């Protein structure tokens, strides 16, 4: 689940950034470039969060099941007899909570990744522009 999570994240993250930047008008001012970098980074973060959240939820559930071996882990005990493979965990989540179950924690993730990615990409683009 971890490999799938990071693969989905990276694919959507960079693709969304570059595709959004294509909408930026040519010959813009530095301020407009910064605005486009911030917007493109925000879109990239939201796209990455949307793509990787189901894998993140499955990964977290797998970790909780693994922790069920510890008698002191209360949350682990609830899922002690749960499935362990990526596919079976995902199917159990959908059966139990519907498709929305794969998007638990989504709002918090977007609230962090959207603005964070906007700042990361904008900073990167502005620093790189100093070398051109």
pLDDT digits (tens, 9 = 90+) for 64-97: 877 777 767 666 666 666 667 889 989 999 999 9
**Block residue for tokens 């620093």:** 127
Residue pair 36/94 in contact by the 8 Å Cβ criterion: no
pLDDT confidence of residue 74: 66
The b/e string for 42-66 (b: 16+ C-beta within 10 A; e otherwise) is: bbbbbbbbbbbbbbbbbbebbebbe
Residues in the chain, how many? Answer: 132
Q: What is the pTM of this model?
A: 0.83
Residue-wise pLDDT for 15-48, tens only, equals 999 999 999 998 889 999 999 999 999 999 999 9
């Amino acid at each position: 689940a971890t490999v799938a999570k990071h693969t989905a994240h990276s694919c959507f993250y960079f693709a969304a950034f570059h595709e959004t930047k294509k909408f930026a008008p040519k010959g813009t001012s530095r301020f407009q470039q910064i605005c486009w970098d911030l917007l493109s980074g925000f879109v990239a973060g939201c796209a990455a969060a949307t793509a990787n959240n189901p894998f993140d939820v499955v990964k977290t559930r797998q970790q909780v099941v693994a922790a069920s071996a510890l008698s002191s882990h209360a949350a682990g005990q609830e899922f002690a007899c749960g499935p362990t493979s990526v596919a079976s965990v995902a199917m159990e989540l959908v059966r139990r909570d519907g498709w929305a179950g794969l998007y638990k924690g989504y709002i918090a993730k977007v609230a962090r990744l959207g603005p964070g990615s906007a700042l990361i990409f904008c900073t990167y683009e502005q620093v790189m522009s100093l070398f051109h």
